[in-house]
Amino acid sequence: MRLTQAYKACERVVRKAGSSFYYGMRLLPPAKRSAIYAVYAWSRACDDAVDEHQGQDARERLQRVWEMYQRAAGSGYASDPHPLVQALGDTIRRFHLPEEPFASMMEGMQMDMQLVRFRTYAELQHYCECVAGTVGRLCVHIFGYKHPDALKLAVDMGIALQLTNILRDLREDVERGRVYLPLEELAEAGYALEDLRNLRYTPAFEVLMQRQVARARQYYERAQRLFPLIEEDSLRCLHLLYAVYYELLQQIEANRFHVFDVRIRVSTPRKMQLFWGALWQKQTV
């Protein structure tokens, strides 16, 4: 398979996922865009292994995804029959991607295969760093950066997006037996784990969610310092990702945290507004 076809296969994965990330990726120059497609496709394979399968089947599938990374990082990637291995292997070399973020992402995926319960925010933060901060760091390597502080700020950006996803997907995760909100904070708000399992709206739930939104907003505020450190030809992509997810957080709050009744989304017209705004965006949010 030719390399261009391998990258096209990764792009199809992104399009099929219907992710908001796709709009932002389209704003990148071709080489960076293709590289982001490859990283996203590998990350998606990790997610699918643990979200669509259980037990030993999930472990075996996740191991196969890790083996794809190892083949991509190895010397024979160019002749590998799997398009993701070819595209990711080329991306790793072209943008000098380190192994550690890939390994940390696997650690986070392994957490998802267990009974997800985080006692403290510190435990949740570590999980977010593994599954989202790692993606942020890989993206910044591809975007290009002007100062090493960009790598730490990319982790803040990744955590902001992941915390937003957790709040949006609360019902779906509870139904899978996953509780990402810190149990310590449920107790402090007076919201019982049994209330969460039964998807109950109570005043205590609102208190709990206000705390989560406030924390996510702090990460968004810190992540704004990332923009001046990124190469200019990648800024529009970063601005759009930031804008779409921050809009989602605002909608969760504006809807009084009614995430059990309906999956809160940023509408397509609103995404297009943000898209056109990103086209004209310069160095600041």
Same domain for 121 and 210, yes or no, is: yes
Structure tokens at 232: 């200019």
CA distance 27 to 234: 8
Report the CATH number that the domain containing residue 21 is assigned in CATH: 1.10.600.10
What pLDDT score was predicted for residue 276? 77
Burial 86-106 (b: 16+ CB within 10 A, else e): bbbbbbbeebebeeebbebbb
Same domain for 156 and 268, yes or no, is: yes
What pLDDT score was predicted for residue 1? 65
What pLDDT score was predicted for residue 82? 97
Bridge partners of 117, per DSSP, are 179
Same domain for 168 and 281, yes or no, is: yes
pTM reported for the whole predicted model: 0.93
Q: Which domain holds residue 182?
A: 115-285
100-113 and 55-73 helices, crossing angle to 10°: 170
Residue that finishes a domain, picked among 55, 85, 104: 104
What ranges in the chain are assigned the alpha helix state H? 3-17, 21-25, 30-51, 55-73, 83-94, 100-113, 121-128, 134-143, 149-168, 170-175, 183-189, 193-197, 203-223, 235-254, 268-279
Number of domains forming the structure of the chain: 2
* 31 burial type by CB count under 10 A (0-12 exposed, 13-18 middle, 19+ buried): middle
Give average pLDDT by consecutive 10-residue segment, the chain, 285 residues. Answer: 93 87 90 98 95 84 97 96 98 98 97 90 98 98 97 98 97 94 98 97 98 98 97 94 95 96 86 78 48
User: Is 236 inside a domain boundary?
Assistant: yes
Same domain for 141 and 225, yes or no, is: yes
Q: What are phi and psi of 251, to 5 degrees?
A: -70, -35
CB 24 within 8 A of CB 246: no
